[in-house]
Structure 1
Amino acid sequence: METNFQIFCREFNEAFVKGNASFILESVTDDVSWQMVGTGTISGKEALKETLGNMDDTNHFNLVINHIITHGKEAAVNGTIEVEASSGEHKNYSFCDIYKVNKHKNGKIKEIISYVIEL
């Protein structure tokens, strides 16, 4: 049985593949930091909002979450994402996201570190 924190992490990842920017923005602190290893870092909720607005919502995603591990105010989620672009091109990725929230109960995400590789 999943804990509330694990459910939250699952819903947060699902929000990305569904393009649910409002859920994502409601789930992070104003000073959120999202480091995409090898790509760069997004700092602050406004920068995240801008990035989400630039995402291509014509793509179709299939998300498979393999593990959600939580301890205290930290979590790790890993799995795979299959992307079908509007052009018909298919790509597969494996990912691991590390989350830190600002408090134990009903916390908001203050830090994300994402590792993503194309398969």
Structure 2
Amino acid sequence: MPTDLHALLSALNYALAGGDFDYILEHAADDIRWEIVGVMVIEGKDALAQAFEVFAHSETRGMELRSIFASHDEGVVHGTMRVATASGEERSYAFCDVYRFELADASTPLLQHLTSYIVMPQTGALTELLGEGTPPDEG
């Protein structure tokens, strides 16, 4: 029976949030490429395992998956997350993860590429970008 890609996308996100890095590694291709836009690129399963050792120093305090879209071999997950850093500071951010899978066979999709867009709110950042003007009317 083919894997439900929607369910797999949800499971991968909850595994990452919960620190179940073994689950992610089980579902990753050997030549996986994960780009966290503007931050880093991780290439290969061994490098991914090493990155997870660093990620283990933060604690997820909450996650909301707002939407999941899945097609034949691609998917997108959009949500928000709250984490405590190694120093104990809590941070919130929004994310959008774009997944592409290698279909080894109909029932075994392996994560080939992951691109993560992470937005951390900055007080006044939008005002600085757009200026002090009033936003246009919607409609």
TM-score after normalising by structure 1: 0.90
Give how far 1:52 is off.
0.3
Q: Which has the higher strand share?
A: 1
Secondary structure in 1 aligned to 2:108?
coil
Runs of 4 or more consecutive aligned structure 1 residues displaced over 4 Å after TM superposition = none
Secondary structure in 2 aligned to 1:7?
helix
- Give the partner amino acid of 2:109: G
Give how far 1:39 is off.
1.0
- Give the partner amino acid of 1:13: N
Contact 2:60 2:81 in 1 (8 A): no
Corresponding residue for 2:17?
17
Contact 1:19 1:57 in 2 (8 A): no
**Residue correspondences, number:** 117
Q: Which entry has the higher C-alpha Rg, 1 or 2?
A: 2
Corresponding residue for 1:111?
113
Contact 1:64 1:81 in 2 (8 A): yes
Structure 2, unmatched stretches of 5+, are 122-139
1:78–1:30 distance in 2 versus 1, CA, 3 Å: same
Contact 2:101 2:111 in 1 (8 A): yes
- Give the partner amino acid of 1:80: T
Contact 1:63 1:80 in 2 (8 A): yes
Indicate the percent of aligned positions where both proteins have the same amino acid: 28
TM-score after normalising by structure 2: 0.78
